[in-house]
Amino acid sequence: MGQAPRGHMLPYGHHVEEPKAIVELDHFPDPETFYREYVHKSVPLVVRGGLKHWPAVQKWKSEDYLREKFGGNVFQVMYKNATADKEHYSFMSMTMDMFLDDYKNYKLYLDSQISIEMAEDITLPGYFGCDHFLKLMTGVNIFFNSGWSSTENHLDITETFFAQVVGGRQWILTPPQDGQYLYTDNFTWHSGISPVDKEAVDLYRYPDVAKVDIYNVTAYEGDIVYCPEGWFHQVSAVGGPNIAIAWYLYDYDCQTKCKMTTYQTYVECCTDIRNSRPDEISCDIKPEEMSLATLLRAYVDDVPFAADLDAGTLEIFSQPEPFQLNSGYDMPILGLGLGGMAEEKIETAVKSALKFGYRLFDTDPVDESEKILGSFLANNKNFKREDVFIIVKVHPKDLGKAATRKSVERSLERLRTDYLDLVLIKAPSCESKEHSCETTGTWQESWESLEDLKTMGSVRSLGVSNFKISQLKELLSTAKAPVSVVQCRFNILLRREKMRNFCRKHGIRFMAHSLLGYDMVPSLGVNPLMEGNNAVTIAARLLHTSPATLMVRWALEQNVTVVPKTSHPFHLLLNVQAQEGLDLDGRPEVREMLDRMPHTS
């Protein structure tokens, strides 16, 4: 086979004998010179030490300072370990305090518009202190992680200025004309990303990579890198913690003016746009040096994103409006399922859930979920009993009037409460592999017992779990107390349309269990919703979220109450943000993809 090509199965960039030199300056050129010599000619540039005077460079090394000044500020954070594959992240909102609590323990990457408070600690880089550049400025973002980050080889649709604040970053840049050799047309999920493994370039599979020129430079604290639109760049953190500020100028608008039929046609079109612009600019306004916050307030009408920055648009938790049950009580439509969860994880899960705004908890009488939840709430001074809505079940083994009363009394005792918000009678089946039982009573007797307990005030709302429509019809014909909730196995493959229509007709709230498909693993060996290239995982990639969070959002949109089980704090946070954070209305192709999935009703 012969000797392998230079750089084969080595990190990207090792295929060249000598990287090309990027221009380095120790000062900022004036805006007119910067435009003429660098922007108009699409020449990347590093200014060494140009921002060392920033308060951010001097102070942001201290987590105490970050907490004191910005702890309550809310940012968008990417989470690496909740997605369908390694190329995609999930996005969620977190305060700086929350991020600092966990960023060293998890693959968290704060990638967000800076807050107006943070803007007090940075100033405008000298080379675009000109109204020409101010009018093009679409955003200033902070990038913050523990030092693990390494991007794929990609291009941006903006002129990007990357200021290193804490730590360093290695930049490997590839000129636009060489992007045709990076096989971006082979990457199907998002445009402008190379599918070539940056850690081990397979030059037999991707031989054209050997034709690529590269520029290799490392930015250190106080340095700023200018990366023109259309230049591919692969960027790796050097040292941690690692903080940078990125400035985005939207100038050439190639994304809307150039069709991405192939990468080459896109680059040629974008290059023509750049070449058609004037060779020179003039500045009518040259702001004096001041903090970015002061500058944005002074020029709020000139800078496109200035008003948004001062408004603070991100939210951490946004629970949907509760549903009023037939009983007259309100029940949240998003909660946490505790049944079947490992005992050692329940308390942590409840603590995180309450912190993130969850108020609905679904328990199971056959495990310790009732006892642990009750103990936690009894010893927590921050929440009152009336702040939460608790669901308990009557197991098939406890059917019958006396047995049901005894089951409810046991739940009251274990939960340390004098009332239960909702009690569900489970369908009369003792065929579970996990919980075999014998029963002599009937669900009809159990319902009568629950009606008595409701009259006494021990139970507020009544419902059933896994009942058939025929059983519901019988129940409705005899029940004295209203039927408030029906809980059934429900997911995107099993949509229960007849049952949901029946519930809707009678004002009964439909609640899902087994929404995420993990109950199918024992029989199928895999989870058909969370694994593989199905519509759910593909849609999750497109929306930058996890398949589980997408299913929560989809179910809420179907007007279904959901109580997915998870003990992981970030999964809890992703789920509670699904209602506001996932824009299905803005992605009709995603909605169609999910609607067209084969399913039974």
List pLDDT tens digits, range 61-107: 999 999 999 999 999 999 876 444 555 678 888 999 999 999 999 98
Task: Return the closest-CA partner of residue 557 out of 528, 590, 534, 527.
Answer: 590
Residue that the structure tokens 């009606």 belong to: 451
Query: Per-residue pLDDT tens for 411-430?
Result: 999 999 999 999 999 998 75
Instruction: Give me the pLDDT at residue 37, please.
Output: 97
Instruction: Give the pLDDT score at 77.
Output: 93
Q: Dump pLDDT digits (tens) for 529-557.
A: 887 768 898 888 888 888 999 999 999 99
| CATH topology agreement for domains 23-73+115-306 and 324-489 | no
What is the rounded average pLDDT of the residues 394-406?
Answer: 96
Give the residue from 442, 446, 440 showing the smallest Cα distance to 423: 446
Kindly list the distances between the CA atom of residue 330 and the CA atoms of 111, 323, 359, 392, 509, in Å, as whole numbers in the listed order.
Answer: 37, 5, 11, 16, 11
**H-helix or E-strand spanning residue 539:** helix 535-543
Domain ranges of the chain: 23-73+115-306, 324-489
- Predicted local confidence at residue 313, as pLDDT: 46
Q: Is the pLDDT of residue 164 over 60?
A: yes
pLDDT of residue 69: 97
For residues 300 and 291, the model is more confident at 291
Residues 65, 67, 73, 74, CA torsion sign: positive
Cα 463 to Cα 479: distance, rounded to the nearest angstrom: 11
Compute the mean pLDDT over every residue in the chain, rounded to the nearest whole number. Answer: 90
* Of 430 and 292, more confident: 292
Structural fold of domain 23-73+115-306? Jelly Rolls (2.60.120)
Residues 6+ apart with CB under 8 A from 190: none
pLDDT of 583 strictly over 80: no
Pick one of 3.20.20.100, 3.40.50.2300, 3.40.50.2000, 1.10.10.60 as the CATH number of 324-489.
Answer: 3.20.20.100
Tell whether the model's pLDDT for residue 496 goes beyond 70.
yes
Find out whether 475 and 464 touch, Cβ atoms under 8 Å.
yes
- Least Cα distance to 82 among 563, 585, 565, 537 occurs for 537
CB 153 within 8 A of CB 349: no
> How much is the average pLDDT of 276-280?
92
Contact present, 169 and 162 (Cβ < 8 Å): yes
User: DSSP string spanning 21-57?
Assistant: PPEEESSPPPHHHHIIIIITTT--EEETTTTTT-HHH
**Residue 485, pLDDT above cutoff 60:** yes
Q: What percent of the chain has pLDDT over 90?
A: 66
